[in-house]
C-alpha cells in the first residue's frame, strides 16, 4: 500500500513512520509512504495556507488553492482520499478493513477550524472522525487511522493475533495472563493453567461476554439469543455478569 499524508506539519508524522512495526513494514516493502507539506503548494509571497471564514465566525480556515494543488499532485480524487475531521463518520474496524484493501490511500490533515468546503466536495472521498471529542489538528487522527489500517495488510503482523483481538469477533478481548501463575496473592484462573482446551475456549468466550456486557453492552445488541453464543450470554446475564474488572470475580473466574 502506498500512503500519502497531506499536512502542514509532516514532521509530526515522520517519527511514527520510522519506528517499530511500521518501520519494519516499510522495510519489508509492504508499505511505502510520502509526507506532503501543504505549504510547498502555497505559491504567494508568504506561502499563506489559511484565511478568515466567509460570513464571519471565529478562527481561520485552510485556503483551497494549496490544498487543491497538493491533493491533485497526490492523485485525488481518483485515489481514496480520507479527510480526518470531527464532523466525519465515526471510524471503526469495519472501515479500517475496507481501507486496508486499497492499493493507495491519501490522508488529509486539517488545522485551524477546518478546510474550505469546495475541497471536500471535489477531492475528498471519505470523511472520518476518530471519536466524539475535538483534537487540535488532524495529524494524530490520521496516524490513528493509518495504524488501524496498515496492520491489517497481510504480512504486517501475524494472522493469529488479528483473529483473536477485540472487535474481530464483535466482542471485547478476554482477559489474558502470563507467568507467574501466582503473583503475591493474585492467582491466574485455574482453568487457563490446566491445559483443557475446550474448557479454556469456553472460559474465554464467557469472559469476553462479561467484559463486553460491562463496558460495551451495545455491541451485544445483534446477538441471536437462541444461538450458542446467545445462550451463553443469557447465562452471563442470569448470573448477574457484566461488571467491570475492579469488582470481585471480574475475569469470570467462577465461570467455567
Between 25 and 64, how does the x/- string for binding to ligand 6GU read (CB under 6 A)?
----------------------------------------
Choices 22-30, 40-48, 134-142, 238-246 (CB under 6 A): range interacting with ligand 6GU: 134-142
Question: Measured between alpha carbons, how far is 194 from 40 in angstroms, rounded to an integer?
Answer: 61
Regarding 133 and contact with ligand 6GU (CB under 6 A), the answer is: yes
Choices 4-12, 125-133, 189-197, 223-231 (CB under 6 A): range interacting with ligand 6GU: 125-133
Count of C-beta atoms within a 10 Å radius of residue 88: 17
In eight-state DSSP terms, residue 139 is H
Segment 225 to 254, residues that bind ligand 6GU, using CB under 6 A: none
Regarding 87 and contact with ligand 6GU (CB under 6 A), the answer is: no
Applying CB under 6 A, among 15, 94, 134, 248 the residue interacting with ligand 6GU is 134
Residue identified by cell 479527510 is 83
Residue 233 grid cell: 450470554
Question: Measured between alpha carbons, how far is 223 from 229 in angstroms, rounded to an integer?
Answer: 7
Choices 59-67, 72-80, 81-89, 209-217 (CB under 6 A): range interacting with ligand 6GU: 81-89
Instruction: Give the residue among 234, 246, 186, 164 at the shortest CA–CA distance from 206.
Output: 234
Question: Measured between alpha carbons, how far is 41 from 47 in angstroms, rounded to an integer?
Answer: 8
Question: Measured between alpha carbons, how far is 3 from 34 in angstroms, rounded to an integer?
Answer: 6
Smallest distance from ligand 6GU to CB 108, Å: 10
Rg (CA), the chain: 23
Choices 44-52, 135-143, 169-177, 182-190 (CB under 6 A): range interacting with ligand 6GU: 135-143
Task: Write out the residues near ligand 6GU by the rule CB under 6 A.
Answer: 84-86, 129-131, 133-135, 137-138, 141
Amino acid at each position: 500500500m502506498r500512503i500519502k499524508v497531506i499536512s502542514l506539519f509532516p514532521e509530526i508524522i515522520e517519527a511514527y513512520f520510522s519506528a517499530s512495526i511500521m518501520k519494519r513494514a516499510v522495510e519489508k516493502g509492504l508499505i511505502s509512504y510520502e509526507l506532503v507539506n501543504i505549504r510547498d503548494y502555497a505559491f504567494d509571497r508568504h506561502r499563506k495556507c489559511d484565511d478568515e471564514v466567509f460570513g464571519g465566525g471565529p478562527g481561520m480556515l485552510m485556503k483551497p488553492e494549496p490544498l487543491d494543488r497538493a491533493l491533485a499532485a497526490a492523485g485525488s480524487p481518483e485515489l481514496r482520499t480520507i479527510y480526518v475531521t470531527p464532523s466525519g463518520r465515526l471510524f471503526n474496524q469495519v472501515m479500517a478493513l475496507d481501507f486496508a484493501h486499497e492499493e493507495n490511500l491519501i490522508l488529509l490533515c486539517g488545522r485551524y477550524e477546518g478546510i474550505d468546503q469546495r475541497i471536500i466536495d471535489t477531492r475528498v472521498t471519505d470523511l472520518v472522525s476518530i471519536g466524539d471529542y475535538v483534537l487540535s489538528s488532524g495529524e494524530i487522527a490520521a496516524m490513528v487511522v493509518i495504524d488501524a489500517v496498515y496492520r491489517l495488510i497481510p504480512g504486517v503482523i501475524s494472522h493469529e493475533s488479528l483473529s483473536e483481538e477485540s472487535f474481530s469477533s464483535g466482542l471485547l478481548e478476554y482477559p489474558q495472563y502470563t507467568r507467574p501463575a501466582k503473583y503475591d496473592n493474585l492467582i491466574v484462573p485455574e482453568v487457563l493453567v490446566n491445559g483443557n482446551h475446550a474448557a479454556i475456549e469456553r472460559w474465554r468466550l464467557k469472559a469476553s461476554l462479561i467484559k463486553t456486557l460491562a463496558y460495551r453492552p451495545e455491541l451485544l445488541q445483534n446477538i441471536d439469543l437462541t444461538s450458542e453464543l446467545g445462550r451463553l450470554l443469557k447465562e452471563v446475564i442470569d448470573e448477574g455478569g457484566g461488571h467491570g474488572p475492579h469488582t470481585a470475580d471480574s475475569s469470570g473466574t467462577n465461570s467455567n
